[in-house]
Chain A
Amino acid sequence: MYSDKVMDHFTNPRNVGDIKDADGIGEVGNAKCGDIMKMYIKVEDNIIKDIKFKTFGCGAAIATSSIATEMVIGKTIDEALKITNNAVVEALGGLPHEKVHCSVLAEQAIKAAIDDYMAKK
């Protein structure tokens, strides 16, 4: 039911882990709604130099976290804020309809990490 791209990102997720001295941390979701996603970012000169994630969730949630980190790395803060849920799903080659709700957290987690960075700055 999942595309090869989704399975690739689920099996070999990119950028899993945490950043000890992160400049921003965002955590979204809760177990009741299904998934929890946490993103750590490292920012230099307004550019996201590094990003890591941890996700409690299904295959779709893990794969969207993974590809979203790839899409964000090297982007400016403004560019990163423009990444939408749709763009993430598209980059994965689509998701089964009933799985789209599992993917919305990636966009939110990135925004939350950036908010945290801005607040700390």
Chain B
Amino acid sequence: MSSRRRVVLVAMALLAAAVCAADAWAIERFPPPDFYSGHQLPELDQRPLRLPPWMDRVHVAALATGLALSTWFSLRLRSRTAIRWLAVASLVYFGFYLGGCVCPIGSIQNVTLALADADYTLPVSVVFIFALPVVFALLFGRVFCSGVCPLGAIQDLVLIRPLRVPLWLQSVLGLVPFVYLGAAILMAATDSFFIVCRWDPFVGFFRLDGNLPVMILGGVLLIVSTFVGRPYCRFLCPYGALLGLCSRVAWKHVTITPDECVNCRLCEDACPFGAIRPATTEEDA
């Protein structure tokens, strides 16, 4: 016993020097023994994945279904209640069950990195997760934001009494998402640092676990969400900025029904997100 130990210590001293000098990891310092009792070496314990690998296809299908339903609810049924229930379902599935990732917001960075870095490739699911909401926004407006995004849903659910944000302030703050989008693209392209994911304010709530600064940010945003409609979506979300651009030129839109509008202008006050502006004629615009 003790002689073996001495040998081990000498070997240790020799090899400690070698560690600094060379890539010594591959060296077998101590040859594995032959067991006379016939002991079998255990296998490396490889635990299965938390979600099976084919689940990414289910997520994409769920996203497509959610977008289709959201379109139907907003453009055909024109039902806020239906949208709300859809949002709750999305919150449960994409938020609490999936734990947030990968989401369309974060996927901006994956796509950027894939285009910028030759070594990085995208899983097919991420391409769909990035592109589906954009395609729907070009066709039907931001139906992703209204009924499918779990980050939007959690803010909607806590909204109690929306205040009106002054128009000028809304326009100024509305620029922040574009700056954030630019920064996210730059950082993903150069550094592979995913700032949007690092500072995703709500993913910690979905997982009921998260690091403190981000949880604090999320908590503050949720408190603000009780009296300002969807602050993250309107004044931060980079994907919202992208979808907003697409939605401006969308093929079909949620509209105020022109035949029924009596121009009472109550809706301008009622919209919790300040999306309805006073009507202008072409000359004013």
Q: Do A and B bind each other?
A: no
